Amino acid sequence: MCPSRILAALTVSILLAAPGHAQTPPPAPPPLAGRGQSTPPSAPAAPGPPLPTQKPPTRADILRGEYGRYRANNDLLFYHLDVRVDPEKKSIAGKNTIRFRMLEDDTRIQLDLYANLAVDRIMLGGTPLKYERDLNTVYVDFPRTLKAGKEYAIDFYYSGMPKKQGRFGGMVYDKDPDGHDWIFTACEDEGAAVWWPNKDQWRDEVERMEISVAIPNGLVDVSNGKFAGKTDLGDGYTRWDWLVQYPINNYDVSLNIGNYVHFADSLGDLPLDFFVTPGNLEGAKRQFAQARPMLEAYEHYFGEYPFKKDGYKLIEVPYSGMEHQSAVTYGNRFANGYLERDWTGVGTSLKFDFIIIHESGHEWFGNAVSAADVSDMWIHEGWTTYLEALYVEHQFGHDEALRYVNAYKSKVRNREPIITQRGIHRSPSQDMYFKGALFLNTLRSVVDDDARWWTLIRDVFQHFKYQNILTEDLVRYVNAQLGQDLTPLFDQYLRRADLPVFEMAFDETEGTMAYRWRADERAFAMPIKIGTAGRWQTLRPTTDWQIMKTTLTKGTVAVATDLYYVTVFK
């Protein structure tokens, strides 16, 4: 998902702390309140309004987010979502066939469908099943115990009028500028159960999926996966069939119904298909030419496009965009930047189309490598924001990539940890995008060997693709690959609100400098480069003071803060 644009305006005011005019002897260390500047804040930042993520969870959040007994007792294998969409009535009706393997003997499983939609019936073969609804949860009960290791399939029939909600609307019945129906789904925050019944959580994915969508003749449905044909149903409707041949997140499953025109390209044997409204065909042919260099850049760093059998698609929609797997939706006005703005403010953003580069990056991180709980969504957004910087590096060089990623400091708040509480469907704050990317840029400097870094990030992708993981899986793997324990670094940047503070205290008569990290993690130990620009030396500070001889002084010393995202205090 693209970051919200509101944030940029909110953060500027808290970043303008003046340098503290310190007296000798050595000043008191600052509170651990790094906000991305290289000088200490002189006053506490003004308290902002409480963030939405600080609200206590509702019971619906827990029902949705908890991976309890009736979720954990089964493993999803396959969905066939087969629906009819009526633009006049703004309704949807049909069924989802859900195939799963039981992991424990049990008589009940937990599924999800928003309370405003009707459950028409749930069938196990010819047997109607009892069910119990609790808010947006549907517990399905079986007359006999389902046995561990065995596979079962149920048909979940439903109908209703999805309610427009959330950032992009969930499911929206709109019109295009020419007055044709334009119906789409985008439901990452509120969940796929806003428009279809499924096991709506992040840990378990089906291995593959079929999507069948009946719509009035003349309209086109573009969903995920490979186009598998269309059938005239003889009643004014045509069914469009799509086949997803890889694991897929529920929220990535998408309908895009409109008066689309199609054009195609390819990258080797990877088909690239583009769907836009007729008035934007020329603009799209110009702008979507960026898909090829984008794919080439990401394939260079991580390996082959992960959904090759399904192809790559860009589909025009009226909202900014979303990473729907193999069917990336696009609403960035066929212009460079992010909604025609210089998103990072250093000129680089105007050299490419933010939505093509960001949302497609999610094919690697988000769709192929997925988080197992929304708490760890930085695995999607921090990595993909870092992928933007890799794209910049591939196209425009390392210096420009450094300028680009460091420009994101102005959007970081450091008010709360990036990783949130598990099991309550708690989305992280926007720091997961920008601080997440800056942390990965820092980690590259910690590795301090680009050949090793390129190998590491490629291996991370290849090792975890098509899996749903938590941060600790990633940390364990990185530690093993590098042969060192970087857990305190991951913990400080992802599980604590504050940046590490690099403290220096100079004794110019003795010609010495005392230095250490001030961090919440007592075991925090990270190398850092100091000196003068272009003449760096690497120090290995810990949270204990060390003293070194130096000709550097408080006035001349610089810290390589473009390479390490830290607060500096001297």
- Where along the sequence are the contacts to Zn ion (CB under 5 A)? 1, 381, 384
Q: Closest approach of Cβ 346 to Zn ion, in Å?
A: 20
Q: Which is nearer to Zn ion, 212 or 384 (CB)?
A: 384
Element at 444 (helix H, strand E): helix 431-447
27: left (phi over 0), alpha (psi -120 to 50) or beta: beta
Q: Which is nearer to Zn ion, 1 or 253 (CB)?
A: 1
Cβ of residue 427: shortest distance to Zn ion, in angstroms? Answer: 12
* Of 1 and 276, CB closest to Zn ion: 1
CA 257/CA 234 separation, integer angstroms: 19
Closest separation between CB of residue 343 and Zn ion, Å? 13
Between 1 and 539, CB nearer to Zn ion = 1
User: Pairing relation of β-strands 467-469 and 369-371?
Assistant: parallel
Q: How far is the CB of 402 from Zn ion (least distance, A)?
A: 21
Report the C-alpha gap between 227 and 208 in whole angstroms: 14
Is the CB of residue 98 less than 8 Å from the CB of residue 156? yes
Torsion of CA 86, 90, 94, 99, to 10 degrees: 130
Select the residue whose beta carbon is closest to Zn ion and give its number: 1
Min dist CB 380 to Zn ion, Å, is 6
**Cα–Cα distance for residue pair 361/328, rounded to 1 Å:** 10
CA nearest to 356, candidates 311, 325, 380, 323: 323
Peptide bond into 25 cis (omega under 30): yes
- Among residues 142 and 319, whose Cβ is nearest to Zn ion? 319
Helix, strand, or coil (residue 482): helix
Taking the least distance from each CB to Zn ion, the nearer of 79 and 354 is: 354
Least distance between Zn ion and beta carbon 321 (Å): 9
Report yes or no: 509 and 539 within 8 Å, Cβ to Cβ.
Answer: no
Supply the minimum distance, in Å, between the C-beta of residue 207 and Zn ion: 24
CB atoms within 10 A of CB 234: 8
Least Cβ distance, residue 177 to Zn ion (angstroms): 27
Cβ-based neighbours of 487, under 8 Å, separated by 6 or more: 475, 479, 523
CA end-to-end distance (rounded Å), the chain? 39
Residue 385 CB, nearest distance to Zn ion (Å)?
7
| Distance between CA atoms of residues 435 and 452, nearest Å | 22
Is 381 or 498 the residue whose CB approaches Zn ion more closely? 381
User: Position of tokens 């749930």?
Assistant: 122
Is the CB of 1 or the CB of 209 nearer to Zn ion? Answer: 1
User: In terms of CB distance, is 238 or 384 closer to Zn ion?
Assistant: 384
Please, what is the minimum distance in Å from the beta carbon of residue 384 to Zn ion?
5
Residue with Cβ nearer Zn ion (95 or 411): 411
In what helix (H) or strand (E) does residue 461 lie, and over which residues does it extend?
Answer: helix 450-464
Nearer to Zn ion, 316 or 381 (CB): 381
Rg (CA), the chain: 26
DSSP 8-state assignment for residue 408 = G
Nearest to 314 by CA among 224, 416, 410, 181: 224
**DSSP per-residue string spanning 217-251:** TT-EE--SSEEEEEEE-SSSEEEEEEEE-S-B-GG
Closest contact distance (angstroms) between CB of 307 and Zn ion is 17
